[in-house]
Structure 1
């Protein structure tokens, strides 16, 4: 459970004790500035609502990939049998451009990089067959959640629909975090299209996984030195 955020300005150490932590610098600056405005001396923001994630282990091994998908991957990946972030962006945008039931302005290269970072088990910056199959399974899952919660069939999600969709994806978040996510991933009219929904969910999953990986003792609390902090904000 993650519930607040505190920053030690003298040591440049971020202390997370039952906290929400978004590794994107702009969001943390926003949170920190808000905490300074509300409590100048302690720079502390407290969130009452429970924040947690239930992440499915839906990894697909190469042995589990059927012949049809294997053949598709071979065509998409080319001779090196790996898919880079730029190639992934192109593939996904060609696929979603054919759909008329969802609205999207296309996946950005940044989102494609987040996907690769999340799925890349061997650290080579590209996706192999099993990694791509796992990602494809996730995208299909998130598409199903997106369409289910698009109650008015507008092709986009409203803020309340986004809240329900994130819950279906396994994330229980508080109001403050929902507001930050809508500001970051929403359009000018505060609606969320499909590519931004996927970008949001992928980023959330990465943030929670990174936190859990660092918090090896499951204390709900981590400390990062400045170099570690810079490394994680660049993910």
Structure 2
């Protein structure tokens, strides 16, 4: 059953509601991973990577249903639009993708002390053969770096940039990112 009906609230974006209904192909009022992937498009009209879509559902599925209702979709949409503005700021050449240099600048602007090697590795893992990444991979990269950094900082109690951990604690840190 849908979590919104026309006339229910006055602050509903009618265009967003129309888009939600259009991609909710089974009419359930909840977007599955496949339906959400159809709703999320990169600047080059390619769909979001399925792993990014899964990450978005994990982040915004407030009721843990495994799907996204309209209110969750609205929150997700606002989040994505904020990231899109950020992406456009760092896509200095207007190519619609972020290259290694642009990604390094973005991550450092967000306060992440990243090496060129780490950024190059991330680009290599996420690019589609172009040595740059589209919007969805940019969002995924930033969320991953934030999550990993937050996990590291939680263990780095003296905040000196170094930690000493055992194998089980290391696995716990890594598995949380999956």
Q: TM-score, normalised by structure 2?
A: 0.68
Equivalence map 1:62-141=2 (5 Å): 66-69=11-14, 71-72=17-18, 75=21, 76-77=23-24, 79-93=27-41, 96=42, 102-103=43-44, 105-141=46-82
User: Which consecutive unaligned segments of at least 5 residues does structure 2 have?
Assistant: none
* Corresponding residue of 2:118: 177
Cα distance change on mapping 1:84 and 1:231 into 2, 3 Å: farther
Comparing 151-160 with 183-192, greater Cα deviation is found at 183-192
Measure how far apart 1:116 and its partner are.
Answer: 0.7
Of Structure 1 and Structure 2, the greater strand share is in 1
Q: CA deviation at 1:190?
A: 1.6
Greater helix proportion: 2
TM-score normalised by structure 1 residue count: 0.54
CA distance in 2, matches of 1:85, 1:114: 10
* 2:148 is the counterpart of 1:203: no
Aligned match for 1:166, one of 101, 107, 113: 107
| Unmatched segments (≥5 aa) in structure 1 | 1-61, 97-101
Tell me: higher relative CO, structure 1 or 2? Use CA pairs within 8 A at least 6 residues apart: 1
Q: Kindly tell me the number of residue pairs found equivalent between the two proteins.
A: 162
- Which aligned segments of 4 or more residues in structure 1 are displaced greater than 6 angstroms? 62-65, 220-224
Q: Match of 2:68, SS? A: coil
Cα RMSD of the aligned pairs, angstroms, is 3.7
Asked if 1:153 corresponds to 2:89, the answer is: no
